[in-house]
Amino acid sequence: MGDLFLSLLWHHHQPYYREGPEGRYAMPWVRLHGIKDYYGMAWLAQQHPDVHMTFNLVPSLLIQLEDYAAGEADEEWLRLTAKPARDLDEDETHFVLNEFFCANLETMIRPRPRYQELVLKRRFDRRTSKQVIREFTTQDFLDLQVWSTLAWFFPQLLRDDEVLRELVEKGRGFTEDDKAAMLAKQREVLARIIPMYRELQDNGSAEISVSPFYHPILPLLCNMERAREAIPALPMPRTRADLADDARIQVARAVEAYWVYFGRPPRGMWPSEGSVSPEVPPVVAEAGLRWIATDEGILARSLNRSFPRDLFGHPLDGHDLYQPYRVPAGSSDLAVIFRDHYISDLIGFQYYNQTPDVAADDFVNRLRQIPSGQDHPPPFVPVVLDGENAWEHYPDSGIPFLHALYERLAAAPDVHTVTVSEYLATHPPQASLHRLFSGSWINSDFGVWIGHDDDRRAWSLLAQTRQFLVRRTEGRPPSPDFAKAWEELYIAEGSDWFWWYGDDRSSLQDAEFDRLFRRHLQNIYRLLGEIPPGALDEPIASATPRVPYTMPTAFIQLEVDGLTTNFFEWSEAGLYRRELDGGVMEKETPDLVRRVYFGFNERELYLRIDAPEAFVDEMPAAGRLVFCFTGPRDVELEVRNLRAARPDVAVGGEPSRDGRAAAGEILEIACPFKELGFRPREAARFHVRLLTDHTVIERAPRAGSIAFEVPTRDFEREMWYV
């Protein structure tokens, strides 16, 4: 191949954790990711100034970082870290024992002997905090207070900073003075983060782009009906409000914030979750922005085509994907770039399984495999992913990998790293998109944020609250309380609350996110002197329904042949049965997917689909089955050409390396966990979609997901003990 241009875009975002205008911070993740990832990514960029890149910083993250740097963040984790260990009351010690081990076990706890000793003593798998509390001494609590923060510092800081290095070397037996020194260092590091990114911008090695202020899904604000473009039968919320003005405000406020923090106007935007629709470009261009970025899946649907790859994930045709496009944006045009989904996901979900040098070499070699036609400009490859979430899975927080990657990119004469705006300044879009498909970087749709009954209940409550706010403020002179009330509404429009509704995604903090969303709506009523409606006191998240499936009980060994070889082949697998599924979604579907079996051994996942009669006779000729995983990562396992004896298997939209399928009486599929990016003990969640073209004709389960834990080699022994 010839030369190519690479644009790395790291997206930095956290939910807005402050509970209200004067409220406390409900979770510690801005602070902890701040001292590790947001500081670390800027530091690494400083070490490699010849590698130009883009950082997307969400304004609501910046104002939270500023609160912490100024010492104005009231956060329970931080308060109980600073409080002398000897003065903790009983409720506080329970909180510490339950919450102060929130770190990756393999990469952040086990490498620290004292932290590992404390987590073993805590015995999460067998004991409650009440059962172990008497075993923890004051010194244990003090050491836990220190390590629960110290383990989060960017590892290079722990080596280079004298105060932190001495604490790591000491390892245990910390004093209150040690802890105070660590907390002072934490605040110092947090105060350095925003200036570091501004310096990278001013030096010309990085571009800073933005997202809408509180990270809302812009298409759902602009025109909620756009959600039906990808999911035609999707129900809408019972109550809706016109939120288009709010979309413009969220974008305009983001541009204003950029001026404040970085002293110049921004040129580009990563719309929250890569979400776009025809209404988004005019809103963005009106605010003075020149480009937006989204996912290659959106381009594929906009062009009504796919971007095939070979068995190793190398693209077969690079021209249409690897170029910017011009889209209509009101009275002007806007440039849109589309990220390489496959390569971006390798960084996010795969490369931590390889050594840094092997992973970095693979990345550069993949770039060199991108075809470039003689009659076309050099390929432009955007790689876009979260700038914080991946690194806790990497040894040493990803430092060796990113050093190796940046060094190879700087040394490669045929790879030119550019910021997005640098590239567009010399290579403006030559192609136009007359139709921009409505979707996000998650499945090219908005199902995560509006696809469940809980999501729609949340949107209805937001609409009702906004209608109340408009009635109370319209035509009246501005006031501080009015301004605060509108701010609470914009916060409630953020994507993060809706992300956790429904049962396709779950975390230990689901109830807290639910409470926070309702709290922001309640704040609006209270700021205007009204008692909030009782509906806002009740959790939105539905009670867990009875699941229409059983769980695997032992490993299975499968011959993938599409035949019911014998009864025992699948007898130990989990089983979803359509007749037991009382869900309400898609009741009129033809029920071609009657049973879904799911099983595994320690290396591979096995799946089976039963139709009413022989599978190959029942499936539509143009149909495809997609196993949509939403945990532990978003990935689709797709089976195409369903009537063939050996259907095609794809992972993440690309031909599978080691996956295989056979169709006959039944459909049988095998795929290594490693190819899916799943690791032992991670929580896997999936549902099955039967599609023709882009239309979902059946879903199993009708609503929700099938969930299981990725097995360890000891799975059968653990099941025996159960």
In contact, 309 and 654? CB cutoff 8 Å: yes
Do residues 698 and 628 share a domain? yes
Q: What is the rounded end-to-end Cα distance, in angstroms, of the chain?
A: 56
φ/ψ of 604, rounded to 5, equals: -125, 150
Do residues 711 and 592 share a domain? yes
pLDDT at 204: 97
Do residues 527 and 567 share a domain? no
Question: What length is written for the chain?
Answer: 722
Say if 251 falls within a structural domain: no
Say if 520 falls within a structural domain: yes
Which residues 6+ apart lie within 8 Å of 331 measured at CB? none
In contact, 280 and 503? CB cutoff 8 Å: no
Do residues 571 and 699 share a domain? yes
Q: Show which of 507, 537, 567 is a domain's final residue.
A: 537
- Tokens 């309400």 -> residue: 584
Helix (H) or strand (E) holding 165, with range, is helix 162-170
Q: What string of DSSP letters covers 436-463?
A: ---B-TTTTS-HHHHSSHHHHHHHHHHH
Burial 327-347 (b: 16+ CB within 10 A, else e): bbbeeebbbbbbbbbbbbbbb
**CATH number assigned to the domain comprising residue 488:** 1.20.1430
- The neighbouring-strand residues paired with 12 are 57
In contact, 637 and 629? CB cutoff 8 Å: yes
Q: Show which of 512, 537, 562 is a domain's final residue.
A: 537
Say if 671 falls within a structural domain: yes
For residue 51, which of 267, 200, 261, 265 has the smallest C-alpha distance?
200
Say if 478 falls within a structural domain: yes
Residue 319, CB-side half-sphere exposure with 13 Å CA sphere = 8
Say if 68 falls within a structural domain: no
Q: What string of DSSP letters covers 466-520?
A: HHHHHHHHTTS---HHHHHHHHHHHHHTBHHHHHTSSSSS--TTHHHHHHHHHHH
Do residues 628 and 703 share a domain? yes
Do residues 553 and 684 share a domain? yes
Q: Show which of 486, 503, 537 is a domain's final residue.
A: 537
Q: Which two tokens stand for residue 549?
A: 């499936």
Do residues 518 and 573 share a domain? no
For residue 359, which of 421, 405, 428 has the smallest C-alpha distance?
405
Q: Which two tokens stand for residue 267?
A: 């040129």
φ/ψ of 394, rounded to 5, equals: -90, 145
Do residues 559 and 584 share a domain? yes
Q: Which two tokens stand for residue 486?
A: 């509108």
CA angle 17, 77, 515 (to 5 degrees): 40
Do residues 526 and 559 share a domain? no
Number of domains in the chain: 2
Do residues 634 and 554 share a domain? yes
- Tokens 């590091």 -> residue: 189
Contacts 24+ apart (CB under 8 A), 536-542: 536/461, 539/511, 539/514, 539/515, 540/454, 540/457, 540/458, 540/461, 540/501, 540/514, 541/454, 541/500, 541/501, 541/510, 541/511, 541/514, 542/453, 542/454
Say if 519 falls within a structural domain: yes
Q: What DSSP character marks residue 160?
A: H
pLDDT at 590: 57
In contact, 158 and 396? CB cutoff 8 Å: no
Give me the residues of the chain with pLDDT under 50, please.
Answer: 583-589, 720-722
Say if 670 falls within a structural domain: yes
pLDDT at 717: 60
Say if 659 falls within a structural domain: yes
For 497, the domain range is 447-537
Burial 3-36 (b: 16+ CB within 10 A, else e): ebbbbbbbbbbbbbbbbbeeeebbbbbbbbbbbb
**CATH number assigned to the domain comprising residue 689:** 2.60.40
Please state, in angstroms and as integers, the Cα–Cα distance from residue 510 to each residue in 99, 500, 504, 540, following that order.
Answer: 15, 6, 12, 11
pLDDT at 466: 98
- The neighbouring-strand residues paired with 595 are 577, 610
Do residues 461 and 581 share a domain? no
Cα 267 from Cα 252, distance rounded (Å):
13
Cα 271 from Cα 287, distance rounded (Å):
13
In contact, 548 and 672? CB cutoff 8 Å: no
Do residues 567 and 645 share a domain? yes
Q: What DSSP character marks residue 321?
A: T
What pLDDT digit, counting tens, does each position of 166-191 carry?
Answer: 999 999 999 999 999 999 999 999 99
